[in-house]
Amino acid sequence: MLRYIAKRLGYSVLVLVGVSVIAFGLLRLAPGNPARLMLPEGASEQEVAALAEKLGLNKPLITQYLLYMRGVVTGDLGTSLFYKKPNLELITQSLGPTFVLTTVAIVVALCISIPLGIVAALKKGTVLDFVAMFFALLGQSMSPVWLGVLLIYIFSVSLGILPAFGYGKLSNLVMPAITLGTPLAALTTRLTRAGMFEVLQEDYILAARARGLPFVKVVLVYALKNVLIPVVTVVGLQFGTFLGGAIVTEQIFNWPGIGRLSVSAVMSRDFPLVQACILVVSALFVFVNLAVDIIYTWIDPRVRLG
Amino acid sequence: MARDVVRAKRERVGTVLLAFVLVFALLAGCAGKQAGPPAQAKEKVVVFARPEDVQFWDPQDHFNLVSWMMDKLIYNTLVEVTPDGQVVPALATEWSVSQDGTVWTFKLRQGVKFHNGEVFDGQSVKVTLERFLNEKLRQGPLWGDLAGVDVVDPYTVNIRLKRPNGALLTALSLTSMLPPKAFAEKGKSLFDHPIGTGPFEFVEYVRGDRIVLKKYPGYWGEKAKVDKIIYRPITEDATRVAGVKTGEIDIADTIPVDDVPALSQDPNIKLIRELAWDQIYLGFKCDKPPFNDKRVRQAVSLALDREAIVTHIMKGGRPSSGLVPQGCLGFHEGLSAPKRDLNKAKELLRQAGYATVKVNLIAPEGWYPKTKEVLEAIRGQLLEAGIETTLTLLDGAAFAERRAAGNYDVYYTGGAHPGGDPDFIFYQRVHDDAMKSGYRNDALNELIEKGRAASDRAERANYYKQAQEIMNEEAAPMIFVYQMEQILAARKNVTGFVVRGDKITDLRYVDKTE
């Protein structure tokens, strides 16, 4: 197992180097000079050139890239052109809120969708099943923009029981978590339902029941583990994606997360910050995937890594 | 029999799981209810929201309206320009200019203290202004003519210029005075906790979430009426509007015009609609066909239906009559926005030798409201005159690049006038031709230079009026489409704030009654 992890970590480093090269290159290819964007509209060419020089944007690309990588290795992810603060500081400040939002959204989504999916499978064909599937369809069809704003209008403007925006209290977390988690909950409900229904047909389930094991134990212990494999995959991927910043949700609810940070960095062509964000998010994604693979071995003993 | 037992058990599991689901839903709702809206504190707090965050805390190193708004609360400037164009004393009590216009003498106010106890005097002015000589700052372009600052005595300073520049007063109204000792000690890290002479002190800044300022009881002037001002950057329009409705926000800026009907029905909210000192214009590439021909440019101007755009798309604002918007120094009441005249437009094109014209129009995405709709309208209007326009909507950065390189036939953009002074835009975009239109008119440039150099504001206004007459006649290097409107929504019990055309809203004397 340890050798496997070491090997995977090695691959991860390669992946991250590749990502950094691509990010660096793509950013430089896109038209748009950060120096120009920082000065008032219509600044003269000399002013733009002077600022570009000061920011080190005129050095040859290879030099810029190597300087950047040297920094990364020593833990210095560069300084934001716009905020004039170390990127690492900006990112770590933003990761906290994103992490909180992501975790809560996923936990809430799973707490609702897995039981719902199980019940739907058990009661297949009944009203309960229909309701669950309707919810799943709705959840996957609704745009987070629409859902988020709708929630604000219902719970903040009309009912006045939740704050419309902001970050800090538990009440701030409710609507963003629901907005972010709903599409995932919808998907997981369907996966759980389909998986559970299939698994319950299996011979080993019948055998367990025949041995006299209580139904609840059969469902929750034997069947669920096998149903969870696709669910874990999806959740793992989604977690990584969400960590990259639930951009839309963060925008609507004014959540100070890494999604918002990345977007504004891109819009202002803040090269160092964008690169740093991409690198950090990619690293997180890679490690989350590694964690998911390790969790597999716990869930499904047939899986051997390495 | 066994089957019944199994079914019974299944029902039980099903019920348990369903209960599980419902409990969670309930918990989520309850968590919300308990936390609820914040309790009414004893202190008076006013919350102001706008889409942008304050990114720049160095008061000289930004060109950002939100930053200036915050600066107005934390700092003071030597003079101020009121919304109707009067220059009034602030940290300076009187001033005069030398015969040749290159030396301005300011007498400073006594008994003013910074939030950290430092005394305000000539040193502060010297240290603040000389930054422009020593550092490359974003407000640098406002101080290009600065030669130096001399402290004659603690409360008298001479500001020396390389050449006469009447726009100095406007520049001063945008330049916040720094505490010299603290700045010498801490340098730029001072701005992590800004210190000024203004009616409010800095408390905290949580990036992307809020800025908190509290009343400074030792202020030299009229004391603030509220205990705290909180600024919240909220990018999403719907969220900002919702915030005013629930009362979580007291004043919200940049309200989309489509939200106006709904908001005006709300008895707790008042809407403020005023002209902004910002206009949308079309800039021509004047050194190549077709816009090197004045007649073609005039044809475009006559083909535009500005009234229709203002009435039906923007639902507010006014058609533009010249470079200087209404409310700014140099506004020309004698000029009016060209009325649409399709026949004349077609006639001019014919005279210029074109049956039809094909042009490429570039525009920035997301910088101005309803850009797409206005562009579509313009394209339709121009087509009726025989001008075929290809619209290229670019992301902001890409647009800025192309515009700066002169890579366009015509571009769509806005121009705002901080401080209500057109000097900056006149110089940068016409005189110095930052957008590389290739247009050069010596008579026009001379008027712009005189407009800057004159010390008397009425004289400056005169030059600017003449400049606009030439620009309108020539339809170069740009023609003006419409002047924008700004819409704010405020709770009815909030008063005392002054809305300015440059969107540097003056919150110093905001008040909230219960």
Q: In the predicted model, what is the mean pLDDT of chain B?
A: 90
Mean of the pLDDT values across residues A187-198? 89
What is the number of other CB atoms lying within 10 angstroms of the CB of residue A298?
10
What is the DSSP pairing of strand B387-395 with strand B357-365? parallel
Nearest to B400 among A37, A44, A260 (CB): A37
Q: Does B39 touch chain A (CB under 8 A)?
A: no
Mean of the pLDDT values across residues B309-329? 95
Mean of the pLDDT values across residues A148-169? 88
Strands in B125-237 per DSSP E: 146-153, 156-161, 200-206, 210-215, 228-233
User: Which chain A residues are closer than 8 Å to B232 by Cβ?
Assistant: 165-166, 254
Contact A193, A121 (CB under 8 A): yes
pTM of the model: 0.83
Q: Do B242 and A128 touch (CB under 8 A)?
A: no
B428 to chain A: nearest residue by CA?
A42
**pLDDT over threshold 60, residue B38:** no
Nearest to A36 among B207, B404, B415 (CB): B404
Q: Do A167 and B10 touch (CB under 8 A)?
A: no
Q: Measured over all CA atoms, what is the biggest interatomic distance in chain B, rounded to whole angstroms?
A: 113
Residue B36's pLDDT is 36
Paired residues of B46 in beta bridges: B229
Contact B459, B289 (CB under 8 A): no
> 79-118 in B: which are within 8 Å (CB) of A?
none
Q: Do B207 and A93 touch (CB under 8 A)?
A: yes
Which band of pLDDT confidence, cut at 50, 70 and 90, is reported for residue B27?
very low
B233 to chain A: nearest residue by CA?
A254
Which band of pLDDT confidence, cut at 50, 70 and 90, is reported for residue A233?
confident
How far does A300 lie from chain B, in Å, by closest CA?
24
Paired residues of B151 in beta bridges: B157
Mean of the pLDDT values across residues A284-294? 84
Mean of the pLDDT values across residues B279-303? 95
**pLDDT over threshold 90, residue A251:** no
Residue B8's pLDDT is 54
Among B174, B188, B142, CA closest to B68:
B174
Mean of the pLDDT values across residues A14-31? 84
Q: Which of A55, A85, A254, A258 to mutate to test the interface with B (most CBs of B within 10 A)?
A: A254
Mean of the pLDDT values across residues B295-308? 96
Which band of pLDDT confidence, cut at 50, 70 and 90, is reported for residue B15?
low
Which band of pLDDT confidence, cut at 50, 70 and 90, is reported for residue B28?
very low
Residue B10's pLDDT is 58
Kindly state the tokens that stand for B40. 């009414």
Q: Measured over all CA atoms, what is the biggest interatomic distance in chain A, rounded to whole angstroms?
A: 85
Angle, in degrees to the nearest 10, between helices B371-383 and B294-303: 110
∠ at Cα A178 (A175, A181), nearest 5°?
145
Q: Does B245 touch chain A (CB under 8 A)?
A: yes
Q: Do A122 and B10 touch (CB under 8 A)?
A: yes
Task: Give the Cα separation of B47 and B228 in Å (integer).
Answer: 9
Q: Does B27 touch chain A (CB under 8 A)?
A: no
Residues in chain B: 514
SS (H, E, C) B416-435: ECHHHCCHHHHHHHHHCCCC
User: Which chain A residues are closer than 8 Å to B21 by Cβ?
Assistant: 112, 115-116, 119
Residue A282's pLDDT is 87
Paired residues of B119 in beta bridges: B113
- DSSP letters along chain A, please? -HHHHHHHHHHHHHHHHHHHHHHHHHHHHSS--HHHHHSPTT--HHHHHHHHHHTTTTS-HHHHHHHHHHHHHTT---B-TTT-SBHHHHHHHHHHHHHHHHHHHHHHHHHHHHHHHHHHHHTTTSHHHHHHHHHHHHHHHS-HHHHHHHHIIIIIIIS--S-SS-SSSHHHHHHHHHHHHHHHHHHHHHHHHHHHHHHHTSHHHHHHHHTT--HHHIIIIIIHHHHHHHHHHHHHHHHHHHHT--HHHHHHHT--SHHHHHHHHHHTT-HHHHHHHHHHHHHHHHHHHHHHHHHHHHH-TT----
User: Which chain A residues are closer than 8 Å to B6 by Cβ?
Assistant: 209, 215
Kindly state the tokens that stand for B392. 């290229």
Q: Does B18 touch chain A (CB under 8 A)?
A: yes
Nearest to B242 among A31, A36, A152 (CB): A152
Residue A305's pLDDT is 65
Q: Do B234 and A165 touch (CB under 8 A)?
A: yes
Token pair 């997360």: residue: A257
How far does A243 lie from chain B, in Å, by closest CA?
18
Which band of pLDDT confidence, cut at 50, 70 and 90, is reported for residue B34?
very low
> 180-209 in B: which are within 8 Å (CB) of A?
188, 206-209
Among B37, B496, B42, CA closest to B227:
B42
Q: Rank A2-6, A197-201, B368-372 by mean pLDDT and report only the highest.
A: B368-372
- List Cβ neighbours of A76 (8 Å cut-off, separation of 6 or more): A86, A88
**pLDDT over threshold 60, residue B40:** no
Contact B269, B489 (CB under 8 A): yes
Model confidence over A66-115: pLDDT tens digits? 888 888 888 788 888 777 788 898 999 888 888 899 999 999 999 989 88
What are the backbone angles phi and psi of residue B119, rounded to the nearest 5°?
-90, 140
Kindly state the tokens that stand for A20. 């950094």
How far does A204 lie from chain B, in Å, by closest CA?
17
Among B386, B416, B406, CA closest to B302:
B386
Q: Do B232 and A267 touch (CB under 8 A)?
A: no
Cis peptide upstream of residue B290 (ω within 30 degrees of 0): yes
Minimum mean pLDDT range among A157-166, A243-252, B469-478: A243-252
**pLDDT over threshold 60, residue B240:** yes
SS (H, E, C) A271-305: HHHHHHHHHHHHHHHHHHHHHHHHHHHHHCCCCCC
Q: Does B263 touch chain A (CB under 8 A)?
A: no
**pLDDT over threshold 80, residue A245:** no
Q: Does B28 touch chain A (CB under 8 A)?
A: yes
Nearest to B9 among A82, A162, A215 (CB): A215
**pLDDT over threshold 90, residue A41:** no
Which band of pLDDT confidence, cut at 50, 70 and 90, is reported for residue B5?
low
Q: Do B246 and A42 touch (CB under 8 A)?
A: no
Residue B39's pLDDT is 46
Residue B437's pLDDT is 94
Nearest to A169 among B25, B35, B425 (CB): B35
Residue B331's pLDDT is 95
Contact A86, A95 (CB under 8 A): no
Task: Give the Cα separation of A57 and A66 in Å (integer).
Answer: 13
Q: Do A39 and B10 touch (CB under 8 A)?
A: no
Mean of the pLDDT values across residues B311-321? 95
Residue B297's pLDDT is 95
How far does A224 lie from chain B, in Å, by closest CA?
13
Q: Rank A132-141, B136-145, B376-385 by mean pLDDT and report only the highest.
A: B376-385
Among B46, B326, B255, B14, CA closest to A219:
B14
User: Which chain A residues are closer than 8 Å to B206 by Cβ?
Assistant: 256
B437 to chain A: nearest residue by CA?
A42
| A1 compared with B355, residue with greater pLDDT | B355
- Give the helix, strand, coil percentages of chain B, each rounded to 5: 40, 25, 40
Residues in chain A: 306
Q: Do A156 and B242 touch (CB under 8 A)?
A: yes
Task: Give the Cα separation of B455 and B440 in Å (integer).
Answer: 26
SS (H, E, C) B99-149: CCCCEEEEEECCCCECCCCCECCHHHHHHHHHHHHHCCCCCHHHHCCEEEE
**pLDDT over threshold 60, residue B227:** yes
Task: Give the Cα separation of A8 and A64 in Å (integer).
Answer: 29
Token pair 């603060």: residue: A85
Q: Which residues of B354-370 are buried (b: 16+ CB within 10 A; e: fewer)?
A: beebebebbbbeebbbb
A261 to chain B: nearest residue by CA?
B208
∠ at Cα B73 (B69, B74), nearest 5°?
115
Q: In the predicted model, what is the mean pLDDT of chain A?
A: 84
Kindly state the tokens that stand for A126. 């009944």
Q: Do B400 and A256 touch (CB under 8 A)?
A: no
